A and B are shown apart, each in its own frame.
Chain A
């Protein structure tokens, strides 16, 4: 490791500090700035001078103060102790900062991401003489009751085990395994480091075929994301981005959740912490915090650390993916991250392109989403993991044609477009079913067919048709008046209303409707689509649409999702609706309308 070299500050302008007097300084090198030793990273070198972005507030810093270069890139500490922690944008646990500084964050505090004083029960999986290569699991630690932490040989390391510590309790920096790597000795500990901006390697990339089950009907059924996929969720303020993301982070069926609160509200972090500690994993009864890592860089924290937080989050997520887990990474909001890029770029005097953003913005966005995927991990035993990335986008004025939204949509496989109109009507999740898309819908159909019902795909398409037809009819109705519409069209509007209220809307934060099992999703869908099909036949046989609309069961369809008896209640209602329609058919003396 390089010796620390010392230079001095020549200019301070916000988060950018210019320095001089350090030979051979490198891009991306970590520096400590000023007497308070503020953490920074070199972003530009020109002539004998260099510029560093500083991750802490620079107020009070003077020219002439020292800058220490470390000779190391900006790395993330990986190992047991990450789960259940809340760290800031540069990897410091916020609890530790609170212990040392109280409720307000001061400057210049250095804290390790992984606590050194905590000991972990280690179980070795290798013995002397074993040959180990990159990614091989050499031992395990029960990190939390929910997650077994698999300790891996770092990428680029291999050798023969010459010394192996016995089972026992160890701190993260104690040597566990010593390798003879062609003459030189390498010591493996629980902790390893990885440069935050470099994606971690894997053996092979695999196609994404399994849906991430979120329990949100509009997502799972209409706009699914596959495990290993990418999603953008754009929406103006008040459209419920954060609430939707919180729900996904709490209820989705991934093993690990990494949540990056990037430039968002402090109170939301507090709310999440509360929710994550209260909500328990149904299988184990343990709080879901034990499978989560929260990275909190709230909007009032230094802007350059906001830029770093995204990379730290992605690296941690990849690390758990490499252990063979399904990981979901949520970034709220990527727009704030893009703005941080813009701010740093502008302070460096870079030429702005669109709306002041630097020319490399699309590149940076692409590199971030490219870290998603389902992979076969390096090393033995064979492990498959996935990293799903869900990024919120906060377009100014809710305008989806602004640069961050436009670039993001080019690189993601799925968009959940949040809609101001729906939010005003308090229809949540406010995902607009006409504007959203998912490229995974067909790939995950097989899963639905095998695990839920072979009919699922047909019902899904039919429901989408009804919704799209209804939106056309609505635009006509707004000109001619609803009463002027033919009965067939009024029935379409009714069916769409039932779908909207009874299927798409899902607001409860507590109770039955919070999470909807795939089977129940299917039955609700079947109920509503079959209702429409049968009713449509009746209407074509001159049964008035008004008669169908006034069936009491129609109102029940809009509420059955909340029934505590779950899918049973839906099945019962299905029978009742079919009976009622058959009754109507008999009353009007027409065929059809009943169950075949």
Chain B
């Protein structure tokens, strides 16, 4: 110990505390450490000679509670704790592009650590709502169902709600690939936050980005499933601190993919349980809404600045349940949700987006006359209306038989099938223009009698309906 102590003291002169009174999971209780600040990062030296980082969860004159980052194996109560005098910060600069880090912001790509750039607190400060610009710039993703019915705009936070085994990774990768090709003269970047991923999942994304050459415009922060859960709480915040820098300081259009937020929430629950807090629904802490908001709300556009931060988190719904606290609280914060369906997937439809419960709240601001095409909003509304009738007709047909449906409902039934096959379904490498998407929409809508299209103004029908063209 003395050897280690000596080295540590030599490297970081100043105050140091010795001996913890309690070790519980990744939490460490220190008696009589009155100088630690709330949220301060500390260095912890165990008897095994390794240096670990920790963060102060509760500061007090008589007692401090510290969460240990990194694994706790090999730690005993005989530890040295050294304050750093600062909260958790990362260096941000353009050098970050093309780099990969772990959840403690240590490089994992074999290159040296980042030494240049400004130090920024990973918690970030809340964006002033009056400084925000209401997001309204359409992003063409080349995926019909997204562009046509769930349009994404720059600065939006739009999660994908999925279930394990569904191709949410494919969809996210396809969006990242196709959305970033456009916009000549504008610089873009992808920030990838992998939270509790398996090596395969992480590998898939890296491969995808390599394939398209996006890797040079990408920053990856990856916390693997085998890494300490506590670092999952830092991973998205580090990624977003980098993304904010690229977007608002460098003026880039940044697409941030965060997967899987369910792992994040479970880490949050684990920490909350270890601290003995009053549990909320399913054991998740009562402050999970506020905590998630400090992540998701970092997306946006600032008035008078060039860049934008668009967020595409992936949430796998435990048990496929939309009412589970994780998707539920996420849905209350994000600007819509894209929900994948096991049923569509089983029927071989990609992307298996269940459009009825899906929604893009910012769509109206980003599409329509002068932005995309004047018929866009109406067509989307009509598709929703008709498909929901089609799905209800399908349910009804299961009970009473298609033959007992009225002529009108049979039409809707046919529409629903055509919608799924011709509009929704597309290839992983198929990049459709917006024109093509809307034309496909009109083609399937033309299966219905014209007077059924009550959500589209007559003059728009006259201009775009296939029977008038």
With contacts A396-B281, A478-B396 known, is A266 near B132, CB below 8 A?
yes
- A217 near B: Cβ within 8 Å? no
Asked if A12 meets B279 with Cβ closer than 8 Å, knowing A339-B289, A396-B323, the reply is no
Contacts A267-B155, A267-B335, A270-B132 given; does A104 touch B127 at CB 8 Å: yes
How many Å lie between the Cα of A63 and that of B40 in the bound state? 12
A292 to chain B, nearest CB (A): 14
Contact between A105 and B280, CB atoms less than 8 A apart: no
| Cross-interface CB contact of B286 among A103, A269, A273, A342, cutoff 8 Å | A342
Residues of chain B at interface, number, CB under 8 A: 85
Question: What would be 12 A-B contacts, judged by CB atoms less than 8 Å apart?
Answer: A57-B123, A238-B331, A261-B129, A263-B293, A271-B134, A301-B126, A339-B287, A355-B281, A478-B395, A478-B399, A481-B400, A482-B405
Given contacts A265-B297, A481-B400, contact A60 B130 (CB under 8 A): no
- Residue A64 at the B interface, CB < 8 A? yes
On whether the beta carbons of B356 and A106 are closer than 8 Å, the reply is: no
Q: Which residues of B contact A271 (CB under 8 A)?
A: 134, 365
Which residues in B have their C-beta under 8 angstroms from that of A483? 404-406
Distance between Cα atoms of A266 and B57 in the complex (Å): 27
Which 4 A/B pairs are nearest by Cβ-Cβ distance? Answer: A397-B323, A299-B293, A481-B404, A481-B400
Q: Which of B278, B293, B455 contacts A300, CB < 8 Å?
A: B293
State the CA gap A83–B280 with chains docked (Å).
Answer: 39
Which one, B58, B248, B289, B362, contacts A336 given CB within 8 A?
B289
Known interface pairs A299-B297, A343-B287. Does A11 touch B58 (Cβ–Cβ under 8 Å)? Answer: yes
Residues 423-440 of A, flagged 1 when their CB comes within 8 A of B and 0 if not, give 111100000000000000
How distant is A467 from chain B, measured CB to nearest CB, in Å? 18
Whether the Cβ atoms of A12 and B400 lie closer than 8 Å is no
Interface members, chain B 215-249 (any A CB < 8 Å) = 248
Interface segment, B30-38, B173-181, B440-448?
Answer: B30-38
Q: Is A110 an interface residue (CB 8 A)?
A: no
The answer to whether B290 and A12 have CB atoms under 8 Å apart is no
Instruction: Determine whether B20 belongs to the interface, using a CB cutoff of 8 Å to chain A.
Output: no
Contact (Cβ within 8 A) A267 B61: no
B342, CB-defined interface residue at 8 Å: no
CB B149 to nearest CB in A, in angstroms, measures 10
**A92-100, A312-320, A569-577, A585-593: which lies at the interface:** A92-100
Are the CB atoms of B335 and A86 closer together than 8 Å?
A: no
How close is A449's CB to chain B, nearest CB, in angstroms? 33
Q: In whole Å, how far is A271's beta carbon from the nearest beta carbon of chain B? A: 5
Q: Is the CB of A10 within 8 A of B405?
A: no
A555 and B39 contacting across the interface, CB-CB below 8 Å = no
Contact B400 A237 (CB under 8 A): no
Residue of B135, B325, B400 near A480 (CB, 8 A) is: B400
Cβ proximity bits B1-42 to A, threshold 8 Å, 1 near / 0 not: 000000000000000000000000000000000111111100
Residues on A with C-beta less than 8 A from B399 are 478-479, 481
Which residues of chain A are near B381, meaning CB under 8 Å?
A: 426, 507
A62 within 8 Å of B (CB atoms):
yes
Interface size class of A (residues with CB under 8 A): 35 or more
B385 contacts the other chain (Cβ, under 8 Å)? yes
Closest to A426 in B: B384
Decide yes or no whether A185 CB sits under 8 A from chain B.
no
Q: Are A237 and B328 in contact (CB under 8 A)?
A: yes
Q: A10-B61, A299-B290, A482-B406 given as contacts; is B359 within 8 A of A238 (CB)?
A: yes
Which residues in B have their C-beta under 8 angstroms from that of A97? 128
Binary interface profile of B, 148-160, with partner A (CB < 8 Å = 1, else 0)?
0000000110000
B332 at interface, CB cutoff 8 A: yes
A583 CB–B CB distance under 8 Å: no
Report A-chain residues with C-beta under 8 Å of the C-beta of B451.
552, 555
Chain B residues whose CB sits within 8 angstroms of the CB of A394 once the complex forms: 332
CA A236 to CA B297, docked complex, whole Å? 19
A423 to B156, CA, bound (A): 21
A355 surroundings in chain B (CB, below 8 A) = 280-281
**B positions within 8 Å CB-CB of A:** 34-40, 57-62, 87, 121, 123-135, 155-156, 248, 277-281, 286-287, 289-290, 293-294, 297-298, 300, 302-303, 305, 322-325, 328-329, 331-333, 335-337, 356-357, 359, 361-362, 364-365, 381, 384-385, 388-389, 395-396, 399-401, 404-406, 409, 451, 454-455, 457
Tell me whether A64 and B323 are in contact in the complex, defined as CB-CB below 8 angstroms, given that A105-B125, A299-B293 are known contacts: no
CA distance A484 to B331 in the complex (A): 41
- What are the residues of chain A within 8 A of B61 when measuring CB–CB? 10-11, 63-64
For B37, give its contact among A60, A479, A501 (CB under 8 Å).
Answer: A60
Q: Are A269 and B132 in contact (CB under 8 A)?
A: yes
Verify A346–B404 contact, CB threshold 8 A. no
Cβ-based interface call for A13 (8 A): yes
Q: Mark A72-111, 1 if CB is under 8 A from B, else 0.
A: 0000000000000010000000110110011111100000
**Are A267 and B38 in touch, CB under 8 angstroms?**
no
Is A381 close to B, CB under 8 A?
Answer: no
Beyond the given pairs A105-B126, A265-B297, 11 more chain A to chain B contacts, judged by CB atoms under 8 angstroms and listed by A's residue number, are: A61-B38, A63-B35, A105-B127, A261-B129, A267-B132, A270-B133, A273-B130, A346-B278, A356-B280, A394-B332, A558-B454
What per-residue 1/0 map shows which CB atoms of A41-55 lie under 8 Å from chain B? 000000000000000
A58 at the interface (CB under 8 A from B): yes
Known: A62-B36, A298-B129. A303 touches B323 (CB 8 A): no
A296 interface residue per 8 A CB criterion: yes
Chain A residues with Cβ below 8 Å from B396 are 477-478, 481-482
- Is A12 a contact partner of B59 (Cβ separation < 8 A)? yes
* B129 contacts A270, C-beta separation under 8 Å: yes
User: Is B332 a contact partner of A104 (Cβ separation < 8 A)?
Assistant: no
**Using Cβ atoms and an 8 Å threshold, which residues of chain B touch A336?**
289
Nearest neighbor of B155 in chain A, beta-carbon distance: A267
**Chain A positions within 8 Å of B401 at CB level:** 481
Cβ 8 A contact of B332, one of A101, A102, A237, A478: A237
User: Is B388 a contact of A104 with CB atoms below 8 Å?
Assistant: no
Contacts of B123 in A (CB 8 A): 57, 59
Complexed CA–CA distance, A397 and B330 (Å): 11
B281-A555 in contact (CB<8A): no
For residue A568, CB closer than 8 A to chain B, the reply is no
Q: How far is the CB of A301 from chain B (nearest CB, A)?
A: 5
Contact with B along A465-493 (1 / 0, CB 8 A): 00000000000011111111000000000
Query: Chain B contacts of A273 at CB under 8 A?
Result: 130
**Which among A352, A356, A477 has the greatest number of chain B C-beta atoms within 10 A?**
A356
State whether the Cβ of A566 lies closer than 8 Å to any Cβ in chain B: no
Contacts of A299 in B (CB 8 A): 289-290, 293, 297, 333
| B357–A265 CB distance below 8 A | no
Given A59-B87, A303-B287, A555-B451, do A265 and B126 touch, yes or no (CB 8 Å)? no
Residues of chain A within 8 A (CB-CB) of B155 are: 267
| A134 close to chain B: CB less than 8 A | no
CB distance from A105 to the nearest CB of B (A): 5
Which of A263, A303, A509 contacts B364 (CB under 8 A)? A509
Instruction: Kindly report which residue of chain A lies nearest to residue B331, judged by CB atoms.
Output: A237
Task: Give A13 to B38 CA distance when docked, in angstroms.
Answer: 7
Nearest B residue (CB) for A97: B128
Contact A346 B277 (CB under 8 A): yes
Q: Which of chain B's residues has its CB closest to A238's CB?
A: B359
The complex places the Cα of A294 from the Cα of B75 at a distance, in Å, of 52
Q: If the complex has contacts A237-B328, A481-B396, are A62 and B297 also in contact, measured as CB distance less than 8 A? A: no
- Report chain B residues within 8 Å CB of A507: 381
B356 adjacent to A424 (CB under 8 Å): yes
**Chain B residue contacts of A58, Cβ below 8 A:** 38-39
- Contacting residue for B126 out of A104, A420, A477, CB 8 A: A104
Verify A60–B38 contact, CB threshold 8 A: yes
A13 B58 Cβ-Cβ under 8 A: yes
Task: Tell me, yes or no, whether A398 is within 8 Å of chain B by CB.
Answer: yes
Q: A559 an interface residue at 8 Å Cβ cutoff? A: yes
A370 on interface, CB distance cutoff 8 Å: no
User: Chain B residues with Cβ under 8 A from A352's Cβ?
Assistant: 278
Nearest-neighbor residue (CB-CB) of A502 within chain B: B454
Q: Judging by beta carbons under 8 Å apart, are A94 and B404 in contact?
A: no
Q: Are B34 and A94 in contact (CB under 8 A)?
A: no
